[in-house]
A and B are shown apart, each in its own frame.
Chain A
């Protein structure tokens, strides 16, 4: 073999080796690229899933919060409504209470026949108690009036019940006076009487305040119906 042949052969071998190497290099680069793509896709999908889940979670949170907000608002407005209704009703009672004072007020009681009222209250109380001997308490300012109607009341009762006229002792302790501007929170009484059995075990509170309470409580459903019939609960 001469030099030309040798170098040609070497050239061929070089070309062959290079081709084999290029082919393997190509395979490696393709493998790497494809594996990269596969992994990238997996990572992207995983992240997408995470983000999706995160947003679902947040969405749920928002919904729950909305629901809570809504029911809180609903409750708050319900309470407001109820409160307003309550206030209105209380205001009514206040007004009634104030008007009631006029009945016993020294300036206007003659107009309202307070004297007659006292007598009737005493008779009613006696009828309730059915005791032969009772204790009576009244306001200091009503003392005179009470004393003046006491006998006729006793007599009326006795006649009605066909019993002996009862013994009525007027207590030294008086009911508190009418409410004054000086001290609006002090105990007060708008008028009327309190009768009790001698042993103090049975007490009939026939004050105007007590009567107002009873009526008010009893009539409350009707009052609410009249006032709030159109309002949905």
Chain B
């Protein structure tokens, strides 16, 4: 992998020699810690694996203590690289952080703190490690564990999730690193957005619109990976009602369509099609999808030879759903167009009485046939009460 000369990577960091003995003499680490470090440091994965299998939490404790007590950037980077290496070799090791023997340690605090200072290497590794650790936490009844110790203020998982979302949104908005910020952030989000707490704080922090610009056709291997992870985030968000409204008002849908039209990467297409499936039944998406020509795109996608069966199933499902939508909507095209236009532009058109006055004639022409049918769309658009009020108001006026 080509390394930027100014760019620090794990390989380089791990070539350093850290003077652990000195730290012991200055009482920054304990004798036991030194012992464990000697056994672990500079060893191969094969040597380390049994150490971690037998006594994993102790090693975690050493790493955490160093990150907590030692400020020297070189050392911090080294330990972070060690942890990263450990987790990359076997992600299940993230569970070690939640071992009961570490209950008194604040396992989150060092990483959360390091997000906000230090080199980009430190920030990136901290965010990655923190994501893995917090995602691996044991869930009780689907609720996150909070600290019950009132004497020591231990960072709760909620704190971590909120802190991470905050940092990630900033990275997406104002990247600390010109090229690495975005890939790293999207990667973390793709893992974190599985949780409803994260979805909620992400949406509240207006994060959705930060993702949308990232939805664009990609050609290089690296950019395809970022695109895949972005689509993963969008797909995860499409399961979350409040996010759907944001997706509706952003230009997410047209962008997704552009990408899926031109993409040859199966996993990207797969995710986008799954996302469409989720959005089909919600709000005005069905109508938008028809308008933007999705049915035809689905046809051409079906014609391509994908190896994933699930993808074909989803495409068929989507085709069915779109057909139903077309049936529902085709019987009042004119009204639909106008209403959708009005709603896509949100408030102004919608509240414009002139718009409604002009269209009352349409209603009357068809003897209020649009009423019951219109109710269907309007329910889709989730503006039923407002519109009904307006319609009845206008009708009353017109009746007079």
Contacts and interface: CB of A to CB of B under 8 A. Distances in A.
Contacts of A219: none
Interface string A22-51: 011001001101100000000000000000
Interface in B218-240: 228, 232, 236, 239
Chain A contact patch, size range: under 10
A145 B245 CA distance: 115
A24 B236 contact: no
A34 B267 contact: no
A34 B271 contact: no
Interface residues of B, number: 10
A31 B274 contact: yes
Majority secondary structure, B binding face: helix
Interface string B286-323: 00000000000000000000001000000000000000
A23 B274 CA distance: 14
A63 interface: no
A23 B271 CA distance: 11
A20 interface: yes
Interface string B257-277: 000000000010011001000
Given A20-B267, A23-B267, A24-B267, A30 B228 contact: no
Interface string A80-91: 000000000000
Contacts of A30: 194, 236
Interface string A59-74: 0000000000000000
B323 to A, nearest CB: 23
A125 B251 CA distance: 116
A33 B239 CA distance: 11
12 contacts: A20-B267, A23-B228, A23-B267, A24-B267, A24-B308, A27-B232, A27-B270, A27-B274, A30-B194, A30-B236, A33-B194, A34-B239
Interface of A: 20, 23-24, 27, 30-31, 33-34
Interface of B: 194, 228, 232, 236, 239, 267, 270-271, 274, 308
